[in-house]
Structure 1
Amino acid sequence: MKSFEELVNEQMLIMDKLLSMQTELDRYRELEEELRNRKKEQDLLSVQDDIMEMKKELNSIQNLFMQLTERVIESYQTKSATEKIMND
């Protein structure tokens, strides 16, 4: 089992990726709106496809982050319980 610190570091890397993906998704949504306003249907469809793929990837990363969060909590609880036993 990975140590608490390793899990937290991994979680921070995933959080960075989540934030990056969210920023990129926001940018694509702005582009989508611009293309819609310009009535560029073919370009709009392409951007909408990209947005759907990014949403899938973002969802996957969010799920991974949630799983890792659970592992961090479990690791912390195990570490705390071990330290309590050692100190008693």
Structure 2
Amino acid sequence: MDHFNRLVSEQMVTMEKLLYLQAELERCQQIEEELQNLQNETNLESIQNDIQSMKKELKEIQLIFEKQTEEVINSYREMNLTPSL
């Protein structure tokens, strides 16, 4: 019976280690997932900032292009209105 009790006691110790490691593994995996989500959010935020910056730059370039187009049109009109001598 002593042998049986010792085996059961050893098995209980092993079971405690097993349960502890399973719980720790699950906890670490949850932390890993949260960190990956945070990293993805950080990357997403960075990309969103880049997009906003590019949209702003695009709008500025569009305005410059529109002004240049107006200048080209006005210059062309002036050139055609001025009689050649």
Q: Normalising by structure 1, what TM-score?
A: 0.51
Structure whose alpha-carbon radius of gyration is higher: 2
CA–CA distance in structure 2, aligned partners of residues 44 and 68 of structure 1: 36
Q: CA RMSD in A?
A: 0.9
Deviations 1:34-62 (A, max 9, x none): xxxxxxx3212111110001101111111
What's 1:84 paired with? 44
After TM superposition, the runs of 4+ consecutive aligned structure 1 residues lying more than 2 A away are: none
CA–CA distance in structure 2, aligned partners of residues 70 and 43 of structure 1: 40
Q: How does 1:48-63 map to 2 (within 5 A)?
A: 48-63=8-23
CA–CA distance in structure 2, aligned partners of residues 49 and 86 of structure 1: 55
CA–CA distance in structure 2, aligned partners of residues 84 and 48 of structure 1: 53
State the one-letter code of the partner of 2:44. Answer: K
1:64 aligns with 2:34: no
Structure 2 runs not aligned, ≥5 long: 49-85
Q: How does 1:8-87 map to 2 (within 5 A)?
A: 41-87=1-47
Structure 1 runs not aligned, ≥5 long: 1-40
Q: Normalising by structure 2, what TM-score?
A: 0.53
Task: Give the secondary structure class of the aligned counterpart of 1:66.
Answer: helix
Identity %: 10
CA–CA distance in structure 1, aligned partners of residues 34 and 41 of structure 2: 10
